[in-house]
Structure 1
Amino acid sequence: MPSSSRPFPERLIVAANRLTRIAALATGSTTPASVWRSLSILETDGSLRIGELARRSRVTQPTMTKLIQSLAEGELIHRIADVADSRAWLIAITPKGIAALDSWREEVGEALAPTFEGLSAEETEILERAVAILEERTETVRAATTAGVA
């Protein structure tokens, strides 16, 4: 099936994934995507247990445990006691982690800027509106999903 005849959500996710790959290559960063994904989840959703963070990051719990160790060594996250279960820990992003995430997002934005050079004012406005719609829709889903997970 030609890509233009595929359903809109499928084309959107393929284009978004392609844009993500272009950004990763353009920055030259060797930091695994799971680092930025995990920090972003913690920034957006707040502190989480390792298993839940692994699920949301789409990695195994052993992989997340190793990732958490690395992030903790870099002071990007810290562990806090879970008041609901004294045997468990919650993982939270630190101010240094937020700063690193902000810096990475800025770097990605700068790396992608040439991709969007030459857009007309109308095209830019359309994309700005599309981003706003995506932010609104994804926040609604995130809030509903987060509310369903205690």
Structure 2
Amino acid sequence: MHKSEAVTAIVLATHALARIAAHDAGNDAPSAQWRALSILDQRGGMRLGALASAARTTQPGMTRLIGTLEQAGLVERTADPHDSRATVVTATEAGIRALDDWRTELGATLAPRFDGLSDDDWRAIERTAAILGERVQSTSSDTTGAHE
């Protein structure tokens, strides 16, 4: 397997695992909700357009999603201190709690699928997770947030 194929395989497998976990857990929240909350958790408050771009969705779609999340108390919109015509979306404490609960639920739901792994396999998974986490962080720090 070539390097690019290995990375692609990891990405595809993680997407499939997330879908499996959502299905097995009976969680009907849209994955876009968790993606938006994760981005806000990692990057802090962002303008709607920047959030839509980071989530790889349209601005109208993100506007609808943020409206739903705001009604549920998971995000809040405030005026951008640098541009009164714009708003900044921020995850609320309830939103971060919901995200943490979802992550815990993901882990618990998927855990049985990994019961038989050896210590070497777990070390490989832990190292892969660390490498991917580092790459995500370096990519995230290269993008802008609220002040785009």
* TM-score, scaled relative to structure 2: 0.91
Structural mapping, 1:1-20, within 5 Å: 4=1, 7-20=5-18
Letter in 2 for 1:130: T
Q: Which residue is 1:63 aligned to?
A: 61
SS in 1 for 2:78: strand
Please state how far the C-alpha of 1:17 moved relative to its aligned partner: 1.7
Task: Provide the residue aligned with 1:100 in structure 2.
Answer: 98
Unaligned ranges ≥5, structure 1: none
Structure 1 vs Structure 2 CA RMSD: 1.6
Q: Indicate which of 115, 120, 130 corresponds to 1:132.
A: 130
Q: Which has the higher contact order (CA 8 A, sep 6+)?
A: 2
Moved more, 9-18 or 128-137: 9-18
Aligned length: 146
Could you tell me how far apart the structure 1 residues matched to 2:122 and 2:11 are?
A: 20
Q: Secondary structure at the match of 2:18?
A: helix
Superposed CA offset, 1:40-96 (max 9, x none):
100101111111111111221111111111111111111111011111110001101
In 2, the alpha carbon distance for the partners of 1:79 and 1:130 equals: 36
Aligned: 1:25 with 2:29: no
Residue 110 of structure 1, CA deviation:
0.4
How far apart, in 2, do the equivalents of 1:116 and 1:101 lie?
A: 23
Q: Tell me how far apart the structure 2 counterparts of residues 14 and 76 of structure 1 sit (CA, whole Å).
A: 28
Distance 1:25 1:107 in 2: 12
Gaps of 5+ in 2: none
Q: Which runs of 4+ in 1 moved over 6 A?
A: none
- Percentage identity across paired residues of the two chains: 42
**What aligned pairs does 1:24-103 form with structure 2 within 5 A after superposition?**
24-103=22-101
Quote the offset at 1:34 in angstroms: 0.4
Whole-angstrom CA distance in 2 between matches of 1:134 and 1:109: 17
Q: How far apart in 1 are the matches of 2:119 and 2:107?
A: 19
